[in-house]
């Protein structure tokens, strides 16, 4: 049996700092990121891909708001915007990964599953929004928008501006996980839990419906990886390794840390919310639930010996 890996694409796999987000920019970014999966595939891994959608889902909501103001077209709630971006980003990944595989003389089916993820409507995250979505703004722009529609903004920890934040409840259950595992173990490459999954809850025991939130894609991908019994979990980001004292003269790259050490660093405040902290939590949860290791790294280092930061049980 091939090894099974879940690979969570970071936001820069689709849209990078300073880019406008045109389709040509995003397609080029996706092609480059997907090209780094070839070594894993050649090494005999079956692959499930998760991905973020923070910039895209925020942009879709802006489009909805603009359409309502200008044309009177009713705007859609966040769960619908997440579903839209799952479809559009899944399409880009399918297309560009197929181009990559063709160039590498590899043949695989690539299948996107629009994935609903159950959350708890009483999750305290609904009272404390932390998940950044959409574009970056100056403080003045953010304050103006907040006054207009009540949006909540927080400053980016890396100093790139201010972004709207929304509730980010924990995933409780991932729908269709058995089908995702079967497809992957049969050799298909599966794109699932895009943007963390479409957040849904049970209004009553027989009625499932969406709720306004964006689930963290790393936590959702981690849960999926555990539930489909993946051997390894890769979290792709835009830095080569996890650092402590990040962005200071004292920053230190971490090559390997245990779950116990990762928990202590979280407790010490070494990792910021909306950035590295959710990735570390996702890594911890995967390893504690039976995964062999989680590797946090940049796409171009994927598959290289000693790449990234490895989080292991002991």
133 in a structural domain: no
Taking CB atoms within 8 Å and a gap of at least 24, the contacts of 199-205 are 199/78, 199/79, 199/82, 199/117, 199/119, 199/169, 200/79, 200/116, 200/117, 200/118, 200/119, 201/118, 201/119, 201/120, 201/121, 202/118
pTM above 0.85, yes or no: yes
| Tally of structural domains, the chain | 1
18 in a structural domain: yes
Question: What are the pLDDT digits (tens) for 60-94?
Answer: 999 998 999 999 999 999 999 999 999 999 999 99
Question: What are the pLDDT digits (tens) for 77-86?
Answer: 999 999 999 9
Measured CA to CA, the distance from residue 288 to residue 286 in angstroms comes to 6
Confidence class of residue 214 from pLDDT cuts 50, 70 and 90?
Answer: very high
What is the pLDDT at residue 41?
Answer: 95
Answer for the pair 53, 94: CB distance below 8 angstroms, yes or no: no
What is the pLDDT at residue 55?
Answer: 86
Q: Domain residues for 103? A: 3-121+170-312
Work out the average pLDDT over 178-206: 96
What is the pLDDT at residue 273?
Answer: 78
Distances (CA, A) of 142 to 20, 55, 157, 166, 305: 18, 16, 16, 14, 43
Active site residues: 11-12, 131, 217, 279
Answer for the pair 239, 251: CB distance below 8 angstroms, yes or no: no
Work out the average pLDDT over 179-191: 98
13 in a structural domain: yes
Phi-psi region of 152 (alpha: psi -120 to 50; beta: other; left: phi over 0): beta
39 in a structural domain: yes
Measured CA to CA, the distance from residue 314 to residue 287 in angstroms comes to 10
128 in a structural domain: no
Confidence class of residue 11 from pLDDT cuts 50, 70 and 90?
Answer: confident
131 in a structural domain: no
Measured CA to CA, the distance from residue 58 to residue 10 in angstroms comes to 16
Confidence class of residue 263 from pLDDT cuts 50, 70 and 90?
Answer: very high
Question: What are the pLDDT digits (tens) for 107-165?
Answer: 999 999 999 999 999 999 999 998 888 888 999 999 999 998 888 999 988 788 999 99
pLDDT at 32 over 90: yes
140 in a structural domain: no
The CATH number of the domain where 212 resides is what? 3.40.1160.10
155 in a structural domain: no
Task: Count the Cβ atoms, other than its own, within 10 Å of residue 85.
Answer: 25
Q: What is the DSSP string of 187-223?
A: T-EEE-SGGG-EEEEEEETTEEEE-S----HHHHHHH
């Amino acid at each position: 049996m091939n090894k099974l890996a879940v690979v969570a694409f970071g936001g820069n796999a689709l849209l990078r700092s300073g880019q406008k987000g045109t389709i040509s920019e995003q397609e080029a970014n996706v092609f480059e990121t997907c090209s780094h999966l070839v070594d894993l595939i050649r090494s005999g891994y079956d692959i499930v891909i998760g991905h973020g959608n923070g910039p895209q889902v925020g942009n879709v909501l802006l489009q909805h708001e603009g359409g309502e103001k200008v044309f009177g077209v009713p705007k859609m709630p966040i769960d619908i915007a997440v579903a839209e971006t799952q479809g559009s980003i899944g399409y880009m990944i399918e297309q560009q990964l197929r181009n990559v595989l063709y160039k590498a003389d590899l043949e695989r089916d690539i299948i996107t599953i629009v994935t609903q993820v159950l959350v708890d409507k009483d999750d305290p995250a609904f009272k404390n929004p932390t998940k950044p979505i959409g574009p970056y703004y100056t403080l003045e722009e953010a304050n103006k928008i907040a006054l207009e529609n009540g949006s909540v903004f927080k400053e980016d920890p890396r100093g790139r501006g201010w972004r709207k934040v929304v509730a980010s409840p924990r995933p409780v259950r991932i729908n269709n996980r058995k089908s995702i595992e079967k497809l992957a173990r049969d050799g298909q490459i599966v794109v699932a839990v895009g943007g963390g999954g479409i957040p849904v809850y049970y209004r009553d025991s027989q009625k499932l419906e969406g709720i306004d939130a964006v689930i963290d894609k790393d936590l959702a991908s981690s849960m999926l990886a555990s539930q489909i019994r993946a051997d390894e979990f890769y979290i792709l980001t835009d830095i080569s390794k996890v650092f402590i004292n990040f962005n200071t003269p004292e920053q230190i790259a971490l090559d390997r840390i245990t779950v116990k050490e990762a928990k202590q660093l979280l407790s010490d405040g070494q990792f910021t919310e909306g950035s590295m902290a959710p990735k570390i939590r996702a890594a911890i949860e995967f390893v504690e639930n039976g995964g062999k290791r989680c590797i946090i790294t940049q796409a171009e280092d994927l598959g290289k010996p000693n790449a990234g930061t490895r989080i292991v049980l002991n």
